[in-house]
Amino acid sequence: MTTIGNNLQQVRARIDAACAHAGRGAGEVSLLAVSKTFGPEAVRDAALAGQLAFGENYVQEAVEKIALVGAMGLPQRLQWHCIGPLQSNKTRLVAAHFDWVHTVDRLKIAERLSEQRPGDRAPLQVCIQVNVDGGPTKAGVAPGEAVALARAVAQLPRLTLRGVMAIPDAMEGFEAQSAVHERARGVWTEVRAALASDGVPGWERVDTLSLGMTGDLEAAVHAGSTMVRVGSGIFGGRHYPPAG
């Protein structure tokens, strides 16, 4: 088994242990392998070890990688998630090539994704990114504005609202990590309750809380995450290209 395959086993074991500790079923939390900056060969190795869902931050890199991986003849279709900040000039590429977008934080982006989603593809699955820390330079809608955005996004064609995503600042210690993750779960719960109260068709599909990474997945699972996003724990340390 490859190193990536071994790492996947270890991460899955961590998720299972975290679920058991939280009194949750092992199947309640899915794993998104964050493959940004890693080549198609790394994705292939993870796929051959049973991983089918992959997250990418950089749109142009991802589009090229999706094509290269698609040409490898893997036995199962992979699922691609956009988890990076999304600007208006990238929405057409994302709408055409991805299955999920986790980083919708304003209506304009959602409207463009809806308009640009090809008619021959399944609806694009989207999460609303919430800035649970309140940092002025961080992406994400303010928690108090999440319900209004969710209501608007849920009405758009060719999109399916699936839940809430957050990327809190890194914190030390399980208790501190859990506290901020609990705030994200509170927003997700509020969004679900509001859409159910409104009688929005499909509100029950808002079943995803995208929360937790390599360093804090245990706290995220304890707080109710349904999807953890793990990169370095699977693929190793990253080497970012120089800015320019």
pLDDT for the residue 173: 93
For the chain, the DSSP string reads --HHHHHHHHHHHHHHHHHHHHT--GGG-EEEEE-TTS-HHHHHHHHHTT--EEEES-HHHHHHHHHHHHTT--SS--EEEE-S---GGGHHHHHHH-SEEEEE-SHHHHHHHHHHS-TTSPPEEEEEEB-SS--TTS-SB-GGGHHHHHHHHTTSTTEEEEEEE--PPP-SSHHHHHHHHHHHHHHHHHHHHHHHHHT-TTGGG--EEE---TTTHHHHHHHT-SEEEESHHHH----PPPP-
Tell me the domains of the chain and their CATH numbers: 3-235 (3.20.20.10)
Share of the chain above pLDDT 70, in %: 95
Give the tens place of pLDDT for each residue, 115-158. 999 999 999 999 999 999 876 667 899 999 999 999 999 999 99
Q: If pLDDT is split at 50, 70 and 90, which confidence band does 243 have?
A: very low
pTM for this model (two decimals): 0.95
pLDDT digits (tens, 9 = 90+) for 190-233: 999 999 999 999 899 999 999 999 999 999 999 999 999 999 99
Averaged pLDDT of the chain: 94
